[in-house]
Structure 1
């Protein structure tokens, strides 16, 4: 983790303002969505990437179908989920 030397106080509504220099350097724009993580006592903010979320969801669904007894529809479901993953990855490359 890289120290910035910047400090900010939490206001009475629990908000923290990210300094403009930091937002400019990281390319954070108005209305961008940030994910919030914790690690021990640390709070980590990361720009939300919807593609990563969709890929994770598709992968979890594929893994679930692989272990479930879905009968004769199982190969069809696995093929469709693989197809969805390919579409999501192709869209991510475009952007």
Structure 2
């Protein structure tokens, strides 16, 4: 892990501000969603990117009742269901 040397304090509501340099490097814009992960004693922020709920694939996504599903997963499920798809 690479240290940036940047230290920020939490405000009274538990918020921090990400420095503009980091936001630019990771193409994080106002209103972008970030995922929060915990690994032992580390808090990790990652720019959220929707992915297939079954495989994690991020290509050819379709929104189905608020969930992301890839076309590949849909074809595989159709085959499992006995439908003839090519």
Shift of 1:78: 2.0
The alignment's TM-score, normalised by the length of structure 2, stands at 0.63
More strand by share: 2
* Structure index of larger Rg: 1
Does 1:58 pair with 2:48?
Answer: no
User: Is 2:43 the counterpart of 1:47?
Assistant: no
Following TM superposition, the consecutive aligned residue runs of length 4 or more in structure 1 with deviations greater than 2 angstroms are none
Q: What count of residue pairs does the alignment treat as equivalent?
A: 62
C-alpha displacement of 1:37: 0.3
If asked which structure has higher relative contact order (CA below 8 Å, sep 6+), I would say: 1
CA-to-aligned-CA distance 1:28-86 (integer Å, 9 cap, x gap): 10111000000011000000011x2xx1x234xxxxxxxxxxxxxxxxx82178xxxxx
When normalised by structure 1's length, the TM-score is 0.57
> Which protein has the bigger helix share?
1
Cα root mean square deviation, aligned = 2.4
TM-aligned CA distance change 1:18 to 1:80, over 3 Å: farther
- Residue 78 of structure 2 is matched in structure 1 by 79
Counterpart for residue 15 of structure 2: 15
